[in-house]
A = this chain, B = another copy of it.
């Protein structure tokens, strides 16, 4: 037996007052006397009243929903990000709806449209591989709906970015390899279209240049950065003459896949080839030797992005922050300790 929904009208009728007063009381409007206020709350409790968000949203033109668009959900990093977003959003009374672009520009466009039609109050986005421009977010900008990009970002004067200093992190990683004695350093990365990859590539080049090591195009291996792609990259590396003595990979999963394949081929790590990854995925402490990597704090990225978005929604002006750079650091483990071994 389905009980009918209780509305403010039912409460009003029962107490013989107007629905306006009930509405005000339930919204803690101080104009309502404590006495009626109490009567209303008691009645609401007793009758099992619950707010109808649609009626409210319809009136207030707000949804209390934050949209999240990510390339993929199935990585440790992204899970951590989402976890951070959810935590903050939830604590502030916002709900999140999530969709995946599967790294495809057109799906991202479709997702953005859906989010727009769902009238999200704000949007958190990590761009797909494929995305050539961000015109599909124009409707949001036009309506002053805040959009924050994280991790995979694009510059836009009416949005904030949340990320780490990829160039510097990559620089540190590469420099570390050089200091461990590496001279022929391969960089495995994705097609450098997105900031995360171009910046890491730039950091890699900078470190080389600073140590007077000539950059070689053939040392940049383009890959999809999955674990299995790491194995494919290993193939390529094994065919290089002379063999590289260090590898900096833009992602731990791929690094690990590559290490496993190289080890199978008899390469010793780090003696023959030293490795540095990126992200500090838990798998870094499982592979042998443990992987030196850049700690990329996913949970915090998500939490900060969400916090910032909500601040905007609550009135903080957009221009106060342009981009937010979180700390990252190199965690040195055995995969790169050439000198000590």
* Known contacts A282-B253, A283-B282; is-contact A79 B74 (Cβ 8 Å): yes
Q: Are A96 and B95 in contact (CB under 8 A)?
A: no
Distance from A230 Cβ to chain B, minimum over Cβ atoms (Å): 10
Known A-B contacts A2-B142, A79-B75; A50 and B86 likewise in contact (beta carbons under 8 Å): no
* A76 and B73 within 8 A (CB): no
Among the listed B79, B118, B282, which residue makes an inter-chain contact with A227, where contact means beta carbons less than 8 Å apart?
B282
Shortest Cβ distance from residue A194 to the other chain B in the assembled complex, whole angstroms: 21
Picked from B50, B51, B83, B118, the residue with its CB within 8 Å of the CB of A73 is: B83
Residue numbers in B under 8 Å from A72 (CB-CB): 83
Given known contacts A54-B54, A95-B99, A227-B282, what 5 new A-B pairs fall within 8 Å (CB)? A2-B142, A65-B97, A73-B82, A74-B79, A75-B79
| Binary flags per residue of A112-126, CB closer than 8 Å to B gives 1, else 0 | 001011110000000
* Contact (Cβ within 8 A) A50 B283: no
Interface centre among A50, A57, A73, A75 (most CB of B within 10 A): A73
A260 within 8 A of B: yes
Which among A23-31, A284-292, A310-318 touches the partner chain?
A: A284-292
Q: Do B51 and A117 have beta carbons less than 8 Å apart?
A: yes
Which A residues, 70 to 100, have Cβ-Cβ distances below 8 Å to chain B?
Answer: 72-76, 78-80, 82-83, 86-87, 90, 95-100
Q: In the complex, A287→B286 CA distance in Å? A: 6
A156 at interface (Cβ–Cβ under 8 A)? no
In the complex, what distance in Å separates the CA atom of A63 from the CA atom of B63?
12
Indicate if the CB atoms of B100 and A83 lie closer than 8 Å. Answer: yes
The interface residues of chain B lying within 8 Å CB-to-CB of A53 are 54, 117-119
Tell me the bound Cα distance from A74 to B97 in angstroms: 17
A13 within 8 A of B: no
Question: Which residues of B have CB within 8 Å of A283?
Answer: 282-283, 286
Residues of chain A in range 102-144 having any CB-CB distance to chain B below 8 Å: 114, 116-119, 142-144
Q: How long is the Cα–Cα vector from A52 to B76 in the complex, in angstroms?
A: 36
Most chain B beta-carbon contacts within 10 A, residue among A53, A55, A65: A53
Residue of B nearest to A144 (CB): B2
A58 within 8 A of B: yes
A16 at the interface (CB under 8 A from B): no
A320 at the interface (CB under 8 A from B): no
Min distance, Cβ A49 to any Cβ of chain B, angstroms: 10
Q: Does any Cβ of B come within 8 Å of A256's Cβ?
A: yes
Contact: A50 with B99, CB < 8 Å?
no
Provide a sorted-by-A list of 5 A–B residue pairs whose CB atoms are within 8 angstroms: A2-B143, A73-B82, A95-B97, A227-B286, A257-B286
In the complex, A309 Cα to B73 Cα: how many Å? 21
A115 (CB) vs chain B CBs: closest residue: B95
Cα A54 to Cα B117 with chains together (Å): 11
Complex CA–CA separation, A336 to B82 (angstroms) = 35
Taking the complex as formed, is A3 at the interface, i.e. its CB lies under 8 A from any CB of chain B? yes
Given the complex of chains A and B, what is the CA–CA distance between A286 and B83 in angstroms? 25
What 0/1 readout, one digit per residue, does chain A (278-314) give for beta carbons within 8 Å of chain B? 0000110111100000000000000000000000000
Q: Which 4 A-B pairs have the closest CB atoms?
A: A54-B58, A74-B79, A54-B57, A54-B54
